[in-house]
Structure 1
Amino acid sequence: MTAGAPVPGLALLSSEQMAELDRRTIEDAGVPGIALMEAAARACVDVLASRFQDRLRHGVSILCGPGNNGGDGLAIARLLAERGVEVRTLLLGDPRQMRGDAAVQVEQAQGAGLTLGSLEHPWSPGAMVVDALFGTGLSRPVEGLAAACIEQMVRARDNGAAILAVDIPSGISGTTGEALGPAVHADITVTFHAPKRGHFLYPGRERRGELLVADIGIPRGRWPELSQDAPRLVEGSTLSQRVPRGPQEGHKGTFGHVLVAAGGPGKAGAARLCAEGALRAGAGLVTLALPEALLPDSVAELAPEVMIERVPGTPNGCFGPTSVRPLLELAHSRQALAIGPGIGTATETIQAVLNVLEKINIPHVVDADALNCLAIGGIPKHGGGAARVLTPHPGEMRRLLPGSEAERLGDRLASVRQLAREAGGIALLKGASTLVADTSGEAWVNTTGNPGMATAGSGDVLTGMIGALLARGLSGAEAATTGALWHGLAGDQAALQHGEPSMLASNILAHLGSAWLAAHEGRVPAATGFIPLPGEQAP
């Protein structure tokens, strides 16, 4: 992949985008809605038969809501009954009130001899439950009987039942992933045509279990404008594409030289992790710039491959106004700058950071205390056209966007897009499902990582990695998305060896090589599985 090329990825649709796709498929492409519903039901039945065969011998409870998701559930019940499975079909509300294709499914279920029970009466879930209460269109809080049914499904799973969710676990927003009251925790979710944002934003990502995407006959690629603003997935295969094996004639200059400006009193470890992260992510050369008054023994255990440059600073060992010119001179012969870990937020340091970022003309990644400096002093414009990547965690994001409506509402996707616009570069918002956005609003969702990575120094490693990827020639979006993916893969491997509670940032650093190998050997599982139409291949 060349620098500046579009970052690919599977589009994550909003509920509104999916509803419009359904409408156009039915009205413009002439595919009957009932045919889409039948295809969705067949996909779910095939998953039940292949994954839960032993449980189906004891019957299945299918909970159907009042809308099209409930219609899917009724079709699933009928198809399972045709296979000889004992089906308990339970409806939320009066079946006579169902409309459209869902009403057709009521007639077909009754015609097939199914008894349609009511969730208003006591019911027992059994060992296998199909959740077809609410689909991705849910936008209001779940209350009353619906909430009670969801809570009973949650208890049933806690007691050993398995749950297949149709489209999305009931109670989860298909657009934001937030829980609109109590929410089902599924073992597996079968969604249709494309994954939705709510499948990859928390808590939806945790609640949906394994995700399968079924082709139900909606034309692919016919209305590309509907997914133009959809965030995209970043998956394991992109690592091997963007960080390939080097050319046999390559040398250390081939892979770029990173300048790391990091460290301060008591925080030299941040500088070490950042510099070594750059080395482990493939930079040919790494120079660590340190304030000259910083004690020498603070980096005594630094990897010997890292070069050190001492620059003037404050008497207590921080960067200051006298650091600016030497840092810019060092940057002139490097391909990327990583700035921020451990530098502090003294007044002199804030001035230095603002000055450097205003004048820097090479790709740069800004993290940690450098972000806090920007939150205090403002984000300077940069006119050189070089890539800029900002990598805040949620606390830093709140300080960078004070009073933001998106931050107030907890809308992570809107927040990361806003920061990218205001910073004039790439924004990467750390956390569960790390998000990346560019100035145009294009966004990506990372699929790797685990809670054990919420540990001191983890972000410093990522900063160095992004610096290395920028130095290797990747665009800002490529470096940010690839760095987040690779960092998360290494974290997942570290968790397997050390356990999430015991993970250290240095463990993530140590697993970067094995994570790269796993990606190149095709050992990174896909974020979603695909169920093609009969006789066709998965995309």
Structure 2
Amino acid sequence: MRLVTASEMGSIDRLAISEFGIPGVVLMENAGLQVVKAVTDVLGDPAGKHAVIFAGKGNNGGDGFVVARHLLNMGAQVQVFLAAEQEQISGDAQVNLNIWLKTGQKVFPLTKSNDINLVRLALMNADLVVDALYGTGFKGTIQKPMATFIEAINACGKPVVAVDIPSGLEADTGRVNGPCIRASYTVTFALPKIGLVLPESRLYVGKLHIADISIPAALLADNQAKRNLITKQLVCGDWPRREGREHKGNFGRVLLIAGSRGMSGAAVLAAQAAARSGAGLVTLGVPAGIHNIVETKLTEVMTFPLPETNNGTLDKSALDMITERAVNTDVIALGPGLGGSNETKALVRELLLKIEKPCVLDADGLNAMTGRTELFRLVKSDLVLTPHPGEMARLCGISIDKVQNNRLATTAKKAVEWNTIVVLKGAGTVIAEPDGSIYINSTGNPGMASGGTGDVLTGLIAGLMAQGMTAGSAAAAGVYLHGRAGDAAAEQQGMAGMLATDILEQLPGIIKELENEIG
């Protein structure tokens, strides 16, 4: 799904009105109704409940008046606070304010700091709060007295539904420069705005719902869009189909080179994930010293031993054995648990230059390229890098803070510079392609921040590539399924104590859900 800036969304709205003849007041009505639907999801039947609505002077406030009217009709007690004088309201917002007033209801002006006692009393009695103060055009810092009112809303402990965007959040960057509504639920209209899906905004957005307000699909679609949110629909569009008469060789062969003394678990997790992805054949090469361990743990994966150093890491002499195996594989995954010996680093660099098969590079495979990233452009086939922020910082030669504060820009820049697909892991995983395309993941949770989950992702992406997905599509599908499996694990057992194996166990069911959707 296309991600847009506030300006791009504004242009779409204007075209819906000017080119398709949809009155702005109709779009406002549709938007308000979608918020009402969200409110009923939170409250259940609103009859007899007390809703407090905070409306600004723009179209966001107009949406709030629509919400107020419909909740009133459904039997709710509704109190509307207006952050302006009535005379300042114009256009479609004025139409809906007038309708509200003609029902015999009032609006309470919210323009002075001494209004705070009335606000606190209303919030104390509220069952739900609707934030319709500031829209997607907001930039900067909210000042007093509005800052005081927002702090009171955040402190009241009641569920808050934000209209289009939480007030105080910048739509293009996700930045918060002062007081900002911490919504339980945000209903954004037509398309997601970039700032709503970035890690820094998660604390404020709550659960994000993208609502259809009947803007024509032709205005929303853009096959050339460079920014997209990874959703189930996007993944379904590229999912590999299985026909009736096929055998394991048709579903792809993955060669995984991983593990070292003390880190056999990383190799096992990555191999199991590749198998769980649906790949037909998975082969794992490990240092000879841990071969018996991984053979004991893996029954569905073929394994073979490789020469090792005295430290139990892969020796450079393993190069020929690996390249020989690579001839009959579709995709290579390289890096989980390899360790950091100089011999292993040299092996990784030579392998990347010698093999001509698509490759997923992770963990110690990435660390081997620190200071040698110019070699990425010499790789002969598709290359997917899956760094966490620390690995990305080392590859880029910058601090982790710089990476995290500029996740989109850094990932996009390096994908072009290195001519690779870069998957920057973390909350709101970012995928960037060499053509400038950026994808942001919509699944996952903090419980997944534990050892081994990255190894699972490596195997999953490699397995999907082996089944015929392009490198970019496999990366997008992999992070989506990985996050969705983590969400399913969290739903069943909570986030605390979640293990990588919990994610693995959820994968078949999540893939089945996806395939049922495709039909």
TM-score range, shorter chain: 0.7 to 0.9
Inter-partner Cα distance in structure 2 for 1:447 and 1:392:
18
Alignment of 1:192-211 (within 5 A): 192-205=189-202, 207-211=204-208
Candidates 188, 191, 194, aligned match of 1:191 = 188
Residue 30 of structure 2 corresponds to residue 39 of structure 1: yes
Code of the residue aligned with 2:445 in structure 1: it is N
CA apart distance, 1:298: 4.4
Stretch of structure 1 that moved more, 503-512 or 336-345: 503-512
Residue 318 of structure 2 corresponds to residue 327 of structure 1: no
Stretch of structure 1 that moved more, 416-425 or 50-59: 50-59
Candidates 227, 230, 252, aligned match of 1:230 = 227
RMSD: 3.1
Inter-partner Cα distance in structure 2 for 1:216 and 1:240:
23
CA apart distance, 1:360: 1.9
Equivalent residue, structure 1, for 2:166: 169
Inter-partner Cα distance in structure 2 for 1:468 and 1:84:
53
Residue 405 of structure 2 corresponds to residue 410 of structure 1: yes
Inter-partner Cα distance in structure 2 for 1:186 and 1:510:
32
Inter-partner Cα distance in structure 2 for 1:449 and 1:332:
35
CA apart distance, 1:443: 2.4
Equivalent residue, structure 1, for 2:136: 136
Q: Deviations over 1:473-519 (max 9, x none)?
A: 21101211121122223223333444321222122223322222233
Inter-partner Cα distance in structure 1 for 2:105 and 2:98:
10
Inter-partner Cα distance in structure 2 for 1:73 and 1:424:
47
Code of the residue aligned with 1:194 in structure 2: it is L
Inter-partner Cα distance in structure 2 for 1:506 and 1:53:
37
CA apart distance, 1:196: 2.3
Inter-partner Cα distance in structure 2 for 1:46 and 1:461:
37
Stretch of structure 1 that moved more, 260-269 or 229-238: 229-238
Contact 2:352 2:379 in 1 (8 A): no
Code of the residue aligned with 1:169 in structure 2: it is P
Candidates 363, 384, 390, aligned match of 2:358 = 363
Gaps of 5+ in 2: none
Contact 1:234 1:445 in 2 (8 A): no
CA apart distance, 1:467: 1.4
Residue 276 of structure 2 corresponds to residue 280 of structure 1: yes
Equivalent residue, structure 2, for 1:3: none
Under a length normalisation based on structure 1, what TM-score does the superposition of the two structures give? 0.85
Flag the 1:55–1:105 CA change in 2: closer, same or farther, 3 A.
closer
Code of the residue aligned with 1:188 in structure 2: it is Y
CA apart distance, 1:341: 0.7
Inter-partner Cα distance in structure 2 for 1:236 and 1:449:
17
Q: Deviations over 1:269-311 (max 9, x none)?
A: 111111222122222222222234x355543533033222333
Q: Deviations over 1:362-394 (max 9, x none)?
A: 011000111112223224135565221111112
Equivalent residue, structure 2, for 1:532: none
Inter-partner Cα distance in structure 2 for 1:458 and 1:43:
36
Contact 1:367 1:390 in 2 (8 A): yes
Candidates 400, 404, 427, aligned match of 1:432 = 427
Alignment of 1:209-248 (within 5 A): 209-222=206-219, 228-235=225-232, 238=235, 242-244=239-241, 246-248=242-244
Q: Match of 2:284, SS?
A: strand
Equivalent residue, structure 2, for 1:348: 343
Inter-partner Cα distance in structure 1 for 2:483 and 2:210:
23
Gaps of 5+ in 1: 1-9, 524-539
Paired-residue identity, %:
37
CA apart distance, 1:345: 2.4
Flag the 1:216–1:37 CA change in 2: closer, same or farther, 3 A.
same
Contact 2:369 2:395 in 1 (8 A): yes
Inter-partner Cα distance in structure 2 for 1:219 and 1:236:
18
Q: Match of 1:70, SS?
A: helix
Residue 10 of structure 2 corresponds to residue 13 of structure 1: no
Q: Match of 2:496, SS?
A: helix
Stretch of structure 1 that moved more, 56-65 or 43-52: 43-52
Residue 90 of structure 2 corresponds to residue 90 of structure 1: no
Q: Deviations over 1:140-165 (max 9, x none)?
A: 12332222222222222x2xx33222
Code of the residue aligned with 1:34 in structure 2: it is V
Residue 353 of structure 2 corresponds to residue 337 of structure 1: no
Candidates 62, 69, 72, aligned match of 2:60 = 69
Q: Match of 2:199, SS?
A: coil
